[in-house]
Amino acid sequence: MTAVHKANVVRLSDGLFLREVRNVALSYPDVQLEELIVDATAALLIRSPDRFDVIVTTNMFGDILSDEAAELSGSLGLGGAINAGDDICVAQAQHGSAPDIASGNIANPTSLILSAAMLLDWRGRRVFNDRLVAGAALIESAIERVLDDPETRTRDIGGHLGTDAFTSAVCAAIGAAK
C-alpha cells in the first residue's frame, strides 16, 4: 500500500493524514506501507504503473492521480471509481457527470458501468451475497468483451459507437453470458 502525500509542504492536513495512515498500518503488520510524495507518485505512475497495488491519499491528490491512471488505460471514460468505507460505498463515474456532453450521446459509459459493478461487488462481499459478486463479475466480463472488439468501442478510444449503442452492446454481452 502506498500512502501519497505532500506533508513536506502541506504540513498540517497532510501531516495529519500521514500520521493516521501510519497508526492504522500498525494494526496490519502484514501489509507493507510505502510513503511517497505526490510529485514522485505522478511520475512513477506513468513510468511504472505496475509497481502500485493500492494507493491511499487525500481527496485532491486521489482525484488527480486516478484521472492520470485512467488516461494511461486509454481514456478517462474507462476508469471505474468507488469511495468505500466500512459501512458506506458510493459509486461514481471516474470522469464525473460530464454535463458538457451529457445530451450528445458521445460519453463513454464504461466508467459508470464499471463503478456500478464495483458497488455490487462491495455490497455483495459485505452481506455475503454471492449473486451480487457474480453479477459484478458478469458486468466486468461483458465490458472486457465489448472493448476487445474495435467495432464496439466508443469514439474516445477509436471506435464509432455512441453512449446508447455501447450500452446496448454491453447489455447484449451480459445477456449472452447468462
Distance CA(159)–CA(156), nearest Å, equals 7
4 has a pLDDT exceeding 80: yes
**Residue 121 binned pLDDT confidence (cut-offs 50, 70, 90):** very high
Percentage of the chain beyond pLDDT 70 is 99
Grid coordinates representing 88 are 458506506
**Residue 66 binned pLDDT confidence (cut-offs 50, 70, 90):** confident
30 has a pLDDT exceeding 90: yes
Residues 6+ apart with CB under 8 A from 29: none
The gap between the terminal CA atoms of the chain, to the nearest Å, is 36
What residues pair up with 58 in beta bridges, in sequence order? none
